[in-house]
Structure 1
């Protein structure tokens, strides 16, 4: 019995913290993450983006579970359930925040113009979402194996799998950042070809703040993921893993700020607005309408009606003066006119 207890205690000592987690710090993170959950639901329903809101809710719920696990570790330092909750919750939570960031990119590209992007839409969706899904699977499997293994070799294998899953998330974020930089350069250097239909959106201060906020949230998730890779690679008993200040600042705070940014600058609050009716100075001018002038024939040299040759007035022919000349066969000879003056008598 003693040997079995020593073996179990040796297994726990590799995974559990050598310090007592702070009750105040963990309680604050639990409360704040929990408060953000109903806020995410309200925003998702209001913007009619339940899929995006669900991803945020799942990420926040996992963070709450993770910090509840830390509280359990404070009450019971050898609680295997507490460690599993902590690792699984705080490791998987940021992946779902990243999904929301990935979902934001296509509509942002549409606002500026598809001709600025350096990737194909299908390639973007398949690759980044596949990397995120693989990261979640490897992180879950690696976290459970590293904490539930009875031997050091299995625990090390689990940590390596967990580190691989975190590295895949780093790769997905790096791809996103790289193409986002190329896209920003293209928009900056070729802004003359922007679609004027969305000028009211991409010229607004709120939309620009949304772009910078999401870029900042991406950097925060990147910093947190890099920190977790170092922690897992060094081992759970390393000085970095056993520093609660580093964990709360470089892990908990980074994820909390990123989740708050995603909700405050919820993308479809800015992207679902109908394009304003904007027009360029050239397009605002009323083009002269083409006037169709009916064709007319030139007057002949013979006696014909008189035509109005002024093209600005309607072509209405004047009433012609017709000289009536009846045939002689149909009428009697006209009587000779009587002269009022006798010319013969004058002479």
Structure 2
């Protein structure tokens, strides 16, 4: 990996090792290619705009961060590359987490909002603001630490703000994982009741498709990988810049770079725009006519291509049932 300890006391002010040139170039290239892939997939599919923006932004920030590490290879005593990679690589995964939050909203709408403890649109409305708070804290902490370092002061206060932002992100991700797991459990528990109406048949068809199953698997794994990375960064910053985790490059490569690029590549391969193809609008089915439910027949026509309209129809059905 090109890992080497530094021996110059002046250089040790920022680094406990010489950043691997080949490894950081590889990460920068992979994130750049992933960013381009997300943009192409978003344009080609003409949907998932929010997901495309979030993932592309996250990849772009990661590229800038690894450029900082590349520059630091031959400039260990320079402040700018060190601060660039600290800020960018700290806040980058927050954008990726936002993309994942948007995916769960679409999954709930597609599989069955009745199995979720929250309404589909509540997921982005709750978790995106939380992600923004985390992002602001991390960016502010990084800025405070940068200013303190440049002025020769102790950057501990800025570091603590960054830790608070990362810890908040960990708590947000954990809550998200719990809600997603609860939704999956409630859906599986009731799946024996599906298949009686046209709408339920459409949901069952989507759930049984290999592409949708692959997407769920990759989304779950990507979420756990980002969560693992956030826990690592909290532990790393808690020890300080001179701690064992911070000055050992193999931990950064494995628990920062590797886990995040794997999560990104998985979501590139199993992009939601392609994995939701089986949920496209379908023709009016005869089974819906047999049930004599015009509202549910309309749902089949709408499909997942228009989630908000589908959600409104479901709410109308529920209100009619209550009346």
1:23-34 matches, within 5 Å, as: 23-34=21-32
Give deviations 1:87-120, integer Å, cap 9, x for gaps.
1111111111111110111111122111100123
Distance 2:187 2:28 in 1: 41
My pick for the range that moved more, 101-110 or 266-275, is 266-275
1:1-347 matches, within 5 Å, as: 13-14=12-13, 16-48=14-46, 49-150=48-149, 154-194=154-194, 195-272=200-277, 273-276=279-282
Distance 1:286 1:80, change over 3 A: closer
Distance 1:42 1:266 in 2: 11
Distance 1:81 1:31 in 2: 21
Q: TM-score, normalised by structure 2?
A: 0.79
Q: Number of residues paired by the alignment?
A: 276
* More helix as a share of residues: 2
My pick for the range that moved more, 126-135 or 114-123, is 114-123
Distance 2:144 2:73 in 1: 22
Distance 2:290 2:55 in 1: 48
Contact 1:200/1:278 (CA < 8 Å) preserved in 2? no
Contact 1:65/1:86 (CA < 8 Å) preserved in 2? yes
Deviation at residue 246 of structure 1 after TM alignment: 0.7
Give deviations 1:284-333, integer Å, cap 9, x for gaps.
9899xxxxxxxxxxxxxxxxxxxxxxxxxxxxxxxxxxxxxxxxxxxxxx
- The structure with the larger Rg is 1
Contact 1:72/1:79 (CA < 8 Å) preserved in 2? no
Structure 1 unaligned blocks of 5 or more? 1-8, 288-347
Deviation at residue 269 of structure 1 after TM alignment: 1.6
Contact 2:106/2:120 (CA < 8 Å) preserved in 1? no
My pick for the range that moved more, 26-35 or 221-230, is 26-35
Contact 1:63/1:93 (CA < 8 Å) preserved in 2? yes
Deviation at residue 271 of structure 1 after TM alignment: 2.4
Give deviations 1:261-296, integer Å, cap 9, x for gaps.
12211112222542556969x779899xxxxxxxxx
Contact 1:197/1:277 (CA < 8 Å) preserved in 2? no
Distance 1:286 1:245, change over 3 A: closer
Please, what is the CA RMSD of the aligned residues? Answer: 2.5
